[in-house]
C-alpha cells in the first residue's frame, strides 16, 4: 500500500456538521417567529440541536448587536458547564469569552460574553440586582419539561418581567409535549396582542422539531431485581459479551451507586476472555470536575466499548453520541420535603413513564438500539405518567426568601405554573420567621432577611453567617460555610489504603463534631500545606480540587459579608482554640430546626420524636457518643435516614436561639 496511511491522512470530523441536525431546517422559521412573538416554545427530541444551536442562530442574527447577551438556563450545573464548553468549541472561542457559563460560585464569563449558559437558580438570583434582567435580549429556558423548582419560579418571574419589557424574547425549550401548558401559562387574556387589523394574536407559537429516531427494542425483567446496581453491572457484561458493537448508557440514581458500578466493571473486566473487546467504564454525575464530565463525550480507544454510568443528567440535558444500549434502573433520585417533620430527603424514587421513554430513546439516536429495563412490564404499567413538579415537593424556604427579596410580598398569589401545596408554604414561612428573615406580617426584615436572600447559601447557613459577628467567629463560620457548600466529601478513598486513610483522617478530627473537623482540616491545609498543597492533600487523602474550590467559595462569601459592612479580620487565622462553644452556638442560631438527640442505641431521634435518624458513615459521629446535636443535611437512602455534618450542642441553646420555632411546635 506504499506509505499512504489512511489513518494519518484523514482525521475524523470534530463534530457532526450542525447543518445535519434536525434544527437546521428550522433556522429561518425559528428566527422569524422569535422576531415576531415574545414567546416561542420549541419542542424537540434530545439531540436535535436546541441547546447548542439556537443561541448561535440568535447571536448570528444580531440579537447581541447592542451589547446585550443571550441567556440559556439549565436546571443542572453539569449541563450548564458541559454545554458551554461544547458551544465555545463550535463557536471557536475559549470558554468564558464570547461563550461562557455561570453557576453558583463559579462565574466563567467576561465583558465580551454574548452567549451565557447558567442555572435557572442563578438567573433568579441575578434578578435581585437587575430586576428586569435588562442585560439579556433573549432568555431561553431550557429543559423546561423537567419542571425543576427554579424553572417554575423563573417562568413566573419572566411572565412579570415581560409585561415591563415587551422587547424581551423568551424561548422555552422542552423535550416532551407539554408545550401547550407553557404557552397557556403566558397567554392570559390581558396579554393577547391587538394587531393592526383588529384581530387578536396569540403572544407566542410552538415549534416542533421532527427528530429522526431509530426503533428501540425494549426488554423487561421477568421477575423484579433485588439489587438493581448489581443487575445493571451483570447486564453490562451480558451486552458486552453477546451483543454487537455500540456503547452502553446506564441510568442509576447517584454518585455512590455509580462509583460502585464503575469500580465493579473495572475489576470484573479483568476476567474477560482475551478475545473479547476491552470495556471502558465512565461515571457521569454532578459532583465530578468539568474535565471528568467532558471525558464521557470522547470516543473510546479502538476496540473498546464505552459504558457510561449516569444519573438522569444523560436523560435529556446532555447527549452522548454512539449509545446503542440503554440500561434503565427505573429509579431516579428525587427531592422530597416532608412538611410535618421538616425533613428534606433525596430519595431513589421510581421514574415516570415519560422519563422511562426518554431514557429508552437515548438508544436510538444513531441506529436501531435496545433498552434493558431492570423492572417488569407490570411495574412499568404502574408507573405514574409524569413526575410531580419539584415545586410541589420541596422545601420552599429559599424560594420564598428570594421572591420576597424581589419585592413579591404576596407569595401565595404569585403566578405559579403549578401552585405549591399550602402546607409547604406554611412550613417555609414558619422557618423563615423563626430565623428572623420575616417579621410577624411576613414581610422581609431589613437588613437580616434581605441579606440572607442575597447570600448564595441556603437560609439556615445564611443566618449562621450573619450571626457570626456577634459570636466573634466570622472567620471560622466563613470556612465552615464554604466547606459545607462543596456538596461532596473532601476525603478521597484509595484502593487498599482504607486503614491508613482512616488514621490520617483521625488526625483532623475534633471531638465536638464534623463542622469543627472541617474547619480544622481547612486550617491545616492552609498552614501545613502552604509549601506544597497538592502533596499535603495526597498524603492526607484529601481532595485537592475540592479544597481549592473551598478557598474560592470562602473568598466569595467573604466579599458578600464585606459588602454588608461586616469586617472579616483574618489576622488570627488558625487560632480557633477556645472558640468551639461560640462556633457551635452560632451554628445553632441557623440550624436549630435540624436538631436531634442521640438514643442509647447510637441512632438519633428528631426533635419532634417522630423520626429515627442515623449518623452518615462519613460523619465523625458515626461511632461516637453524643447527646444533643445539630446537622447540616439529611438524606434518605433505602429506608434509612442519614444525617451528615453533625455537631454536638446543648439543649439549652435550642431554646435560646430557636425559641420561636419550638414554641410554635408545642
| Interface residue list for ligand CDP (CB under 6 A) | 16, 21, 44, 46-53, 82-83, 86, 297, 318-319, 321
Closer residue to Mg ion in complex, CB, 149/171: 171
Q: What does 47 bind: ligand CDP, Mg ion, none (CB cut-off 5 to 8 Å by kind)?
A: ligand CDP
- Residues 6 or more apart whose CB falls under 8 angstroms from that of 233 comprise 261, 264, 265, 268
Closer residue to ligand CDP in complex, CB, 176/418: 176
Sign of the torsion formed by the C-alpha atoms of 381, 383, 384 and 389: negative
Quote the strand ranges of 127-228, DSSP E.
136-141, 169-174, 193-194, 200-201, 204-209, 216-219
CB of 72 to ligand CDP, least distance (A): 10
CA distance linking residue 654 with residue 506, whole number of Å? 29
How many residues belong to the site for Mg ion (CB under 5 A)?
2
Q: What does 86 bind: ligand CDP, Mg ion, none (CB cut-off 5 to 8 Å by kind)?
A: ligand CDP
CA distance linking residue 136 with residue 120, whole number of Å? 14
Closer residue to Mg ion in complex, CB, 50/370: 50
CB of 310 to Mg ion, least distance (A): 15
CB of 285 to ligand CDP, least distance (A): 16
User: For 528-555, b where at least 16 C-beta lie within 10 A, e where not — what string?
Assistant: ebeeebeebbeebbbbbbbbebbeebbe
CA distance linking residue 244 with residue 239, whole number of Å? 8
CB of 49 to ligand CDP, least distance (A): 4
Q: What does 53 bind: Mg ion, ligand CDP, none (CB cut-off 5 to 8 Å by kind)?
A: ligand CDP
Scanning 45-53, 67-75, 232-240, 649-657 for contacts with Mg ion by CB under 5 A, the matching segment is: 45-53
Strand partners, 636: 641
Query: How many other C-beta atoms can be found within 10 angstroms of the C-beta atom of residue 29?
Result: 11
CB of 312 to ligand CDP, least distance (A): 14
48, 51, 150, 394: residue in contact with Mg ion (rule CB under 5 A):
51
CA distance linking residue 351 with residue 357, whole number of Å? 10
In 3D space, the residue among 148, 171, 159, 135 whose CA is nearest the CA of residue 42 turns out to be: 171
Q: What does 168 bind: ligand CDP, Mg ion, none (CB cut-off 5 to 8 Å by kind)?
A: none
Closer residue to Mg ion in complex, CB, 320/435: 320
Closer residue to ligand CDP in complex, CB, 317/349: 317
Closer residue to Mg ion in complex, CB, 305/365: 365
- Residues 6 or more apart whose CB falls under 8 angstroms from that of 428 comprise 395, 396, 397, 399, 400
Scanning 51-59, 397-405, 506-514, 657-665 for contacts with Mg ion by CB under 5 A, the matching segment is: 51-59
Q: What does 515 bind: ligand CDP, Mg ion, none (CB cut-off 5 to 8 Å by kind)?
A: none
Q: What are phi and psi of 530, to 5 degrees?
A: -60, -45
CB of 184 to ligand CDP, least distance (A): 23
| 514-528 helix and 533-540 helix, angle to the nearest 10 degrees | 140
CB of 246 to ligand CDP, least distance (A): 15
DSSP label at 602?
S
Closer residue to Mg ion in complex, CB, 220/297: 297
Q: What does 311 bind: Mg ion, ligand CDP, none (CB cut-off 5 to 8 Å by kind)?
A: none
CB of 78 to Mg ion, least distance (A): 12
Closer residue to Mg ion in complex, CB, 75/398: 75
CA distance linking residue 456 with residue 74, whole number of Å? 18
Which grid coordinates belong to 78?
A: 453539569
Task: Compute the half-sphere exposure of residue 30: CA atoms within 13 Å on the CB side of its CA.
Answer: 28
Q: What does 82 bind: ligand CDP, Mg ion, none (CB cut-off 5 to 8 Å by kind)?
A: ligand CDP
CB of 338 to ligand CDP, least distance (A): 34
Closer residue to ligand CDP in complex, CB, 169/362: 362
Would you tell me which residues interact with Mg ion (CB under 5 A)? 50-51
Amino acid at each position: 500500500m506504499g506509505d499512504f496511511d489512511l489513518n494519518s491522512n484523514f482525521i475524523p470530523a470534530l463534530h457532526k456538521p450542525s447543518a445535519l441536525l434536525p434544527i437546521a431546517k428550522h433556522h429561518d422559521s425559528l428566527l422569524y417567529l422569535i422576531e415576531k412573538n415574545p414567546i416561542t416554545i420549541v419542542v424537540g427530541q434530545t439531540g436535535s440541536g436546541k441547546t447548542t444551536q439556537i443561541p448561535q442562530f440568535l447571536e448570528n442574527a444580531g440579537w447581541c448587536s447592542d451589547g446585550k447577551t443571550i441567556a440559556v438556563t439549565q436546571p443542572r450545573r453539569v449541563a450548564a458547564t458541559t454545554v458551554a464548553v461544547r458551544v465555545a468549541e463550535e463557536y471557536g472561542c475559549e470558554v468564558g469569552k464570547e461563550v461562557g457559563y455561570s453557576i453558583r460560585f463559579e462565574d466563567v464569563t467576561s465583558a465580551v460574553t454574548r452567549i451565557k449558559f447558567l442555572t435557572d437558580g442563578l438567573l433568579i438570583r441575578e434578578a435581585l440586582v437587575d430586576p428586569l434582567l435588562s442585560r439579556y435580549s433573549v432568555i431561553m429556558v431550557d429543559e423546561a419539561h423537567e419542571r425543576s423548582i427554579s424553572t417554575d419560579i423563573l417562568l413566573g418571574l419572566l411572565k412579570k418581567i415581560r409585561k415591563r419589557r415587551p422587547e424581551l424574547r423568551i424561548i422555552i425549550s422542552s423535550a416532551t409535549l407539554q408545550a401547550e401548558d407553557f404557552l397557556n401559562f403566558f397567554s392570559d387574556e390581558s396579554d393577547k396582542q391587538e394587531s393592526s387589523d383588529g384581530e387578536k394574536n396569540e403572544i407566542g407559537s410552538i415549534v416542533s422539531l421532527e427528530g429522526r429516531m431509530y426503533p428501540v427494542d425494549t426488554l423487561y425483567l421477568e421477575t423484579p431485581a433485588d439489587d438493581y446496581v448489581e443487575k445493571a453491572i451483570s447486564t453490562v457484561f451480558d451486552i458486552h459479551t453477546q451483543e454487537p458493537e455500540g456503547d452502553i448508557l446506564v441510568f442509576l440514581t447517584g454518585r455512590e451507586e455509580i462509583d460502585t458500578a464503575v469500580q465493579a466493571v473495572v475489576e470484573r473486566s479483568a476476567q474477560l476472555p482475551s478475545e473479547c473487546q476491552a470495556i471502558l467504564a465512565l461515571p457521569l454525575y454532578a459532583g465530578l470536575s468539568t474535565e471528568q464530565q467532558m471525558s464521557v463525550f470522547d470516543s473510546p480507544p479502538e476496540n473498546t466499548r464505552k459504558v457510561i454510568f449516569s444519573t438522569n443528567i444523560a436523560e435529556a440535558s446532555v447527549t452522548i453520541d454512539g449509545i446503542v444500549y440503554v440500561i434503565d434502573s427505573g429509579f431516579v433520585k428525587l427531592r422530597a420535603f416532608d412538611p410535618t417533620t421538616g425533613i428534606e430527603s433525596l430519595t431513589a424514587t421510581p421514574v415516570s413513564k415519560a422519563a422511562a421513554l426518554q431514557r429508552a430513546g437515548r438508544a436510538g439516536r444513531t441506529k436501531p438500539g435496545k433498552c434493558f429495563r431492570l423492572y417488569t412490564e407490570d411495574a412499568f404499567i404502574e408507573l405514574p405518567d409524569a413526575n410531580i413538579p419539584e415545586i410541589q415537593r420541596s422545601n420552599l424556604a429559599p424560594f420564598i426568601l428570594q421572591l420576597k427579596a424581589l419585592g413579591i410580598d404576596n407569595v401565595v398569589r404569585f403566578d405559579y405554573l403549578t401552585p405549591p401545596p399550602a402546607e409547604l408554604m406554611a412550613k417555609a414561612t414558619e422557618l423563615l420567621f423563626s430565623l428572623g428573615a420575616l417579621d410577624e406580617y411576613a414581610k422581609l426584615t431589613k437588613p437580616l432577611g434581605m441579606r440572607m436572600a442575597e447570600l448564595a447559601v441556603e437560609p439556615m447557613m445564611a443566618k449562621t453567617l450573619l450571626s457570626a459577628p456577634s459570636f466573634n467567629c466570622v472567620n471560622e463560620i466563613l470556612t465552615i460555610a464554604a466547606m459545607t457548600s462543596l456538596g461532596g466529601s473532601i476525603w478521597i478513598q484509595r484502593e487498599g489504603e482504607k486503614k491508613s486513610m482512616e488514621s490520617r483522617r483521625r488526625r483532623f478530627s475534633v471531638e465536638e463534631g464534623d463542622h469543627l473537623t472541617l474547619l480544622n482540616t481547612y486550617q491545616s491545609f492552609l498552614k501545613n500545606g502552604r509549601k506544597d498543597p497538592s502533596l499535603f492533600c495526597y498524603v492526607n487523602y484529601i481532595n485537592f480540587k475540592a479544597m481549592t474550590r473551598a478557598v474560592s467559595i470562602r473568598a466569595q462569601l467573604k466579599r458578600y459579608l464585606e459588602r454588608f459592612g461586616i469586617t472579616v479580620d483574618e489576622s488570627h487565622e488558625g487560632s480557633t482554640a477556645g472558640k468551639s462553644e461560640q462556633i457551635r452556638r452560632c451554628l445553632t442560631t441557623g440550624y436549630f430546626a435540624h436538631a436531634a438527640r442521640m438514643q442509647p442505641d447510637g441512632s438519633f431521634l428528631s426533635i419532634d420524636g417522630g423520626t429515627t435518624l442515623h449518623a452518615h458513615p462519613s460523619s465523625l459521629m458515626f461511632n461516637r457518643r453524643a447527646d444533643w446535636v445539630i446537622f447540616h443535611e439529611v438524606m434518605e437512602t433505602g429506608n434509612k435516614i442519614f444525617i451528615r455534618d453533625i455537631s454536638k450542642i446543648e439543649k439549652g441553646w435550642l431554646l435560646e436561639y430557636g425559641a420561636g420555632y419550638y414554641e410554635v411546635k408545642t
